[in-house]
Amino acid sequence: GRESGVKVTTMHIENEIKLDFKDVLIRPKRSTLKSRSEVSLERTFTFKNSGKVWTGVPIIAANMDTTGTFDMAKVFAKHKMLVCMSKHILVEEWVDFCTKHPECVDFVAVSSGTSEKDWVRLQEIVSKTPVDKICIDVANGYSQHFVDYVRKVRAAYPTHVILAGNVVTGEMTEELLLSGADIIKVGIGPGSVCTTRKQTGVGYPQLSAVIETSDAAHGLRVLSCRFKVLGSC
């Protein structure tokens, strides 16, 4: 409704049960495998918007200062897992790392916020390194500005793999995928060190978020939401 020309949003309370990972266990099933060491997690993905084909283990270290590091990338690359690098890594450090460790390039992503300064930095890193994965990261991806930035990056880099988030619901997952993202970064609020929930009261239990966003992605014939992001809020 409207009051004095101002749009009023009606409050809605969701009564459905929402689950976090701590709320469930995995039910065991019979297997022909003799040991867990026989399990291979490696998969091949063809990304919806970039068209890139990537083979590896779908586990990603988030771009937090303590996890999005080059030391982490060296270890993860040995296991064919991805690391989204911290936003605070200098251009010169990126160039040096890619020159000295070319075997890791396929398993790292340059991270960017959505400010003009972030855009300038992103362009410089991409122009000076062979990195073809970009992580567009904000604490809360529910803004038109964020969607517009994803579109901007996709227009500039049509063949780069784009990760975008954070979101927790199906409709925003669809919006980002249709705007050019290949991988959706899921999670707002449930992390033990996340300040978003404490400061703003915004959040969503992580397991329910993963289920709902994955369902939306699969509806668009996208499999990339099955990636597991480590260290995310």
Q: How wide is the angle at C-alpha 82 spanned by C-alphas 196 and 70, nearest 5°?
A: 85
Edge-first strand order for the sheet with 59-61 is 183-186, 161-167, 133-137, 108-112, 82-84, 59-61, 228-230
Rounded to whole angstroms, the Cα distance separating 131 from 123 reads 11
Rg of the chain on CA atoms, in Å: 19
Catalytic residue ranges: 194, 196
User: Cα–Cα distances in Å, from 49 out to 46, 68, 163?
Assistant: 9, 25, 11
Backbone angles phi, psi at 203, to 5 degrees: 175, 180
Q: Which of 130, 132, 128 is nearest to 153 (CA)?
A: 132
